[in-house]
A and B are shown apart, each in its own frame.
Chain A
């Protein structure tokens, strides 16, 4: 069930109510049952996978602690199980297609079977989470968790199960073992965070998606400014979609007493691509740094090896995002950008201090350009956008051209244009002006009535600007 569904509201309402009523020592039991129910609601069979992953990593970690002479074997076994699952369920067909393609290209066509495998929700996230755990145990950074229940809850904790943030065991496990009293301020803080996330996802992301999907679904009809508008809107759509979901996850966890890591820190204020990855999906980039980049030698073996490491890490990062070549290329492009920035920084004879605004525009432009690869269905579509997005841009000085392009994108629907502009404005303001939390302090100082009016308006916008389309029967068969 999605966080922005009625089913989840009912589910969480029940969990929240019962959670604060039961004996505190039993809170983890309720959370574990709720987490398994939450996961099974996607597909009951998925439970077997997460239980398997839990047991394998639990046993492997304990075995490593008991028998240090064979801890490499146990680590390899756990990693093989983790990534084996991930490979089978996420990448098997992708590699099959790719291999088929290559073999056909070299004149040795082979018909490889296509497997009908449903991708289990959240497998990429909990795989990375359990992998980090066993590696930390292997390296002696943490002791293995002996309590199977707590460990199972760590793996399956429902607020962050399906879309992160990817939590480290040393941060989350101790929290799960504590018992909590109801705290009004914490609950309100969590509820507000959840509400903000809901707004970002249901209002901003979903409304921008209408426009983006219209353009990306009919690329041949759009050129020039229209394409650029769609790409820019997509950059904010994906930010709001992902960060909104993270806010909801963190808000839900906070209402239960837990603090999950921040995952986004105003990424479009980054001054370089390297800085971007310190602000975007931070739990993933930290994971990649700790468990891939540093083991690959990080930046310890010279600039060229550092560049190669970045390429490897970000190519795999792209692959993690999706089993398709345009994701892989997207990741590789980021790796290339970062490598280039390091090279320029190291070898450039000119040490110019770039104004922050210029750096932000530079970084945002490159990120937007790479989002094309992420959003396009195929590399061919991405190439079309690159070839045609600058067509006619000299006409930007002509208001008629600008209006015509916008009219095409929004199908002359001024209401839709206004909604999109509002959404864009809201998220840009959140990014630039509200990041320093001052606004929260200002809001908290207002009288109760004023605050209620503001919250009421916020909720009205949430309810009535969301995409409330009812899944309707598409009369496709008859």
Chain B
């Protein structure tokens, strides 16, 4: 037996040496680097801990900005992120979150209905290196080891993938002259861009797919954070053209009513996940708050009249929130959701909308005693006392 193990070990060493050489060639050729063995355990304790944490999906990603929050802020939101991954992130960073920190738990119109991902969906792969494998459901051990510890074993595959991608791009460019119109050209360009992404891109945060449309808007202007401007905007009654959000509304309607991905069958599981997040937060002496970020009136009008009641409020009512407050900014009167200029698409705030919404949220957190006044970093110049 020892002889067999010994010989196999020699072969393994040979293969590792060869693979490292090939991997080095691949990385030098394409200028690629990828982190190795990150976040295998929960993140270690730090001195300057986080005082406010954002959880949730793309709604939270694009809808809340901590730019003018004078507090150490941690963004743990992500596109398509399920509630159970919110909890996984909390566990990952638990030692870095200060006592009394505010935990913003966002629930969207689809938080309770979205089908829990299975192993076959492959969702877990985007969390490798970001969350400890101990917290990831359906860990694929082989995939995890190959991306985190021995990525050089994929060098041959990655070389061929990159070669394929470059060929697709070249083909697309060669066809450029033969497109009938601009729409066809754009469609082809988009098709090339939709190639399966290298896991390296994911880990390095090169996430085109994970940016909502609002993130593609022009960078935030300082005046977004002017309270005077915010108050002036609130004082105007103009709603804005609805047609720019129409197409998005139809898309959302089709998606959110797709029973394969979203259905009441998932309500109970997701409620339990929400309860676990609250329970975990309270046990760590944090201050969780459950919020729903505004969605556009265009979308609300497109959904069934009782959609929010069934898909959000009934679930909130049934969940054991343990006294944690629920702030519904999608309710009438809470936010000017008829102002289409504040939305990048029908269910996501844009940069301007996010700055405004984050102001209202900040004031409520301060007025409610969750955060001290000095956290408010918005521009009050010109505001009448």
Residues on A facing B (Cβ under 8 Å) = 5-7, 10, 20, 182, 184, 187-188, 191, 411-413, 415-416, 419, 452, 455-456, 459-460, 463-478
Contact = CB atoms under 8 A, between A and B. Distances in A.
Interface in B167-219: 167-168, 171, 196-197, 199, 202, 209-210
Contacts of A467: 157
The 9 closest A-B pairs by CB, nearest first: A464-B156, A6-B142, A471-B122, A468-B157, A456-B14, A468-B154, A473-B123, A475-B209, A470-B143
Contact of A416 (B10, B143, B164, B171): B164
Contacts of A411: 164, 167-168, 171
Interface in B140-160: 140-143, 145-147, 153-158, 160
A460 B163 contact: no
A478 B15 contact: no
Given A412-B167, A472-B126, A474-B121, 16 more contacts: A7-B141, A184-B3, A184-B4, A187-B4, A188-B4, A191-B8, A413-B167, A415-B160, A452-B14, A456-B14, A456-B18, A460-B19, A468-B153, A471-B124, A473-B122, A473-B125
Contacts of A456: 11, 14-15, 18
Contacts of B73: none
B114 interface: yes
A6 B143 CA distance: 9
19 contacts: A411-B164, A411-B167, A455-B11, A456-B18, A460-B15, A460-B18, A460-B19, A463-B19, A464-B153, A464-B155, A464-B156, A470-B146, A470-B147, A471-B122, A471-B125, A471-B143, A475-B79, A475-B209, A477-B114
Nearest to B160: A415
Nearest to A9: B142
A192 to B, nearest CB: 11
Most B Cβ at <10 Å: residue of A191, A456, A463: A463
Given A413-B163, A460-B19, A469 B157 contact: yes
Nearest to A462: B15
Contact of B22 (A412, A455, A464, A469): A464
Nearest to B347: A478
B157 A476 contact: no
B255 interface: yes
A178 B1 CA distance: 20
Interface string B132-146: 000000001111011
B4 A191 contact: yes
A464 B80 CA distance: 32
A182 B1 contact: yes
A204 to B, nearest CB: 15
A472 B197 CA distance: 8
Contact of B160 (A419, A472, A476): A419
Contacts of B156: 463-466, 468
A469 B196 contact: yes
B79 A478 contact: yes
Interface in B1-43: 1, 3-4, 7-8, 10-11, 14-15, 18-19, 22
A475 B81 CA distance: 11
A459 B126 contact: no
A191 B1 CA distance: 12
B57 interface: yes
B58 interface: yes
B332 interface: no
Contacts of A412: 167, 171
A415 B163 contact: yes
B107 to A, nearest CB: 15
B261 interface: yes
A6 B145 contact: yes
Interface in B244-275: 255, 261-262
A74 to B, nearest CB: 41
B15 to A, nearest CB: 5
A477 to B, nearest CB: 5
B1 A416 contact: no
B369 to A, nearest CB: 34
B160 A416 contact: yes
Contacts of A466: 156-157
Given A6-B141, A460-B15, A468-B157, A477 B125 contact: no
B122 to A, nearest CB: 3
A452 B154 CA distance: 22
B167 A475 contact: no
A249 B279 CA distance: 48
B76 to A, nearest CB: 17
A452 B167 contact: no
Nearest to B12: A459
A478 B57 contact: yes
Q: Which of B10, B140, B146, B160 has the most CB of A within 10 A?
A: B160
Contacts of B140: 471
B44 to A, nearest CB: 27
Contacts of A464: 19, 22, 153, 155-157
A40 to B, nearest CB: 15
A465 to B, nearest CB: 6
B84 to A, nearest CB: 14
Contacts of A184: 1, 3-4
A202 B79 CA distance: 33
A454 to B, nearest CB: 11
